[in-house]
Amino acid sequence: MNCRMCDSINLHKFLDLGFMPPADQFRRKDQLHESDTYYPLQVMMYEDCGLAQLSYRVFPEVLYRNDYPYESSTTKVGQQHWSEFDGSVVKRFGFGPKDLVVDIGSNVGVLLGAFRNKGMQVQGVDPAANIVMIAQANGINTICDFFNEDSARKIVEEKGYASVITGTNVFAHVNLDGFMLREV
Ligand SMILES: [Zn+2]
């Protein structure tokens, strides 16, 4: 019932889509007879901080640990966008070979690959093992884990503090506890 960012209980439901199976999970032909698990899909608005979020949280292990199918390399427009984005960030802030970029939910490493090609240090974090294997094969050093206090500390210990932290379409997917730190 509490907002995952500010802990407020001042909420109202504004969209109820009933019960749905998780997105991004596709079946092979031989799996079609298997049953789907359905979860409530209701969107709540928390009045105090304005953050919209789902009422029911599916375990992230269910969503990302089991053959996650989306690869960011499959979209040409995306690849071009990230390359231009990286170019503008490097130019605007004058980053060089000592600067570290950490990408949260780095997928197969398309965004980081563009930063690396511009001479920066890169570190990915992504929970999907099958996706991380592809990233590693692309030469993008990637921690196979959720981004949280533990993985953040690991990165700081091994590589120091990041000059840039990126996350593309990440807030919509993460568990905000441990991702956003609450001010107390
Ligand atoms: Zn809130």
Its sign, for the CA torsion 16, 17, 23, 27, is positive
- How many A from CA of 13 to the centre of ligand 1? 14
Q: Which helix (H) or strand (E) holds 111?
A: helix 110-117
Q: How many helices (H) and strands (E) does the chain have?
A: 5, 7
- How many A from CA of 164 to the centre of ligand 1? 26
Q: Which CATH architecture has domain 72-167?
A: 3-Layer(aba) Sandwich (3.40)
User: pLDDT tens track of the chain, all 184 residues?
Assistant: 888 888 889 999 999 999 999 887 778 899 889 888 899 999 999 999 999 999 998 888 888 777 787 888 888 888 888 888 988 999 999 999 999 999 999 999 999 999 999 899 999 999 999 999 999 999 999 999 999 889 999 999 999 999 999 998 888 887 777 777 655 5
Integer angstrom CA distances of residue 152 from 73, 125, 177? 25, 9, 14
Asked if 86 contacts 114 with a C-beta cutoff of 8 angstroms, the reply is: yes
Stretch(es) of the chain classified as CATH 3.40.50.150: 72-167
Return the amino acid letter for 101. Answer: V
